[in-house]
Amino acid sequence: MRFFQVKSFLNHWLDVVDEHSIHSPFFFDFYYQVIRKKNDPVFIEIEKVRGRLLSNQSFVNAKDLGAASPHFKGAKRTIARIAATSLNEEKQCALFYRIARYVEAKHILELGTSFGITSLYFSKIEDAKVTTFEGNPAMINIAQTNFDYFNQKNIELIEGNIDHTLSDRLQNPEKIDFALIDANHQYEPTIRYFNLIAKRMSDHGIMVIDDIYYSEGMAHAWNELKKHDLVYGSIDLFRCGILLFDLNLNKQHFIWSH
């Protein structure tokens, strides 16, 4: 897997383009307002929670419900180690926040709550409702504690195996403005989650697939999804892939650095 990721990164780096190759007004604006913009609000209190998690040496049982983690051999793990290997970095959380804010997302869907750091970023978007899914009981308990600490009433944590809970939840006809798929990290579940969520995306909706070069299977999934009939624009940032559902974008694809 390590060789595949290094090879993929080199290929990505060779294909990266800058703003001089962007002719679409929408993508030009997106590039500067989302990808290159750095003056985010400072989420000091949320990052303090991250810091506490990174220093917490308590043990929990955290089984891998999707692709096996390369960082652990068993289910018994420290909270600090889980936080160090599974939480999105501050830079990544800020990017996801900017994307959701850019589309003025009212309904945000997140697959893979972990300890809830990314969910808390989303919750700071005005008038947004965040629905986040997690199947690991140890992570659910800690994430809910973090949500309660901030008294965030606009986060709903759906507990249980996403393979069962997602389809049930999507019976709700409410349109999704922003979705983050950051769970399982295998080809078949990623495709299945996409197909379920895509039917509920709003006309201006954006979906992010995290860890698109985690494995050959994830890269295969990404290459399929960016060509999907419902996807009219896509951006490869290596760490994640961005899929846009606005039919006015005329099937454009970009490879950018972040």
Whether 111 is in a domain gets the answer yes
What span, in angstroms and rounded, lies between the C-alpha atoms of 125 and 108? 10
Question: Quick one: pLDDT at residue 63?
Answer: 65
Band (pLDDT 50/70/90 cuts) for residue 73 is low
Query: In this structure, is residue 197 part of a structural domain?
Result: yes
Rounded to an integer, the average pLDDT of 99-109 is 97
Token pair in block for residue 40: 């985010």
What residues form DSSP beta bridges with 201?
176
pLDDT (0 to 100) of residue 40: 74
Q: Is residue 78 part of a domain?
A: no
pLDDT of 76 reads 83
Name the residue among 17, 55, 23 with its Cα closest to residue 35: 17
Total domain count, the chain: 1
Res. 180: pLDDT tops 90:
yes
| Within-domain flag for 65 | no
Residue 97 lies in a domain: yes
Q: What is d(CA 50, CA 47) in angstroms, rounded to the nearest whole number?
A: 5
* DSSP H stretches of helix in 106-243: 117-123, 137-149, 162-169, 187-198, 216-225
Q: Is 189 exposed, middle or buried (0-12, 13-18, 19+ CB in 10 A)?
A: buried
Q: Which domain holds residue 163?
A: 2-40+88-255
Q: Is the residue at 70 inside a domain?
A: no
pLDDT for residue 18 is more than 90 = no
Residue 67 counted as domain residue: no
Phi, psi (degrees; rounded to nearest 5) at 158 = -95, 115
**138 assigned to some structural domain:** yes
**How close are the terminal C-alpha atoms of the chain, in Å?**
22
Whether the Cβ atoms of residue 214 and residue 185 lie closer than 8 Å to each other: yes
Closest CA to 85 of 109, 105, 62, 102: 62
Average pLDDT, the chain: 92
State the CATH number of the domain containing residue 22: 3.40.50.150
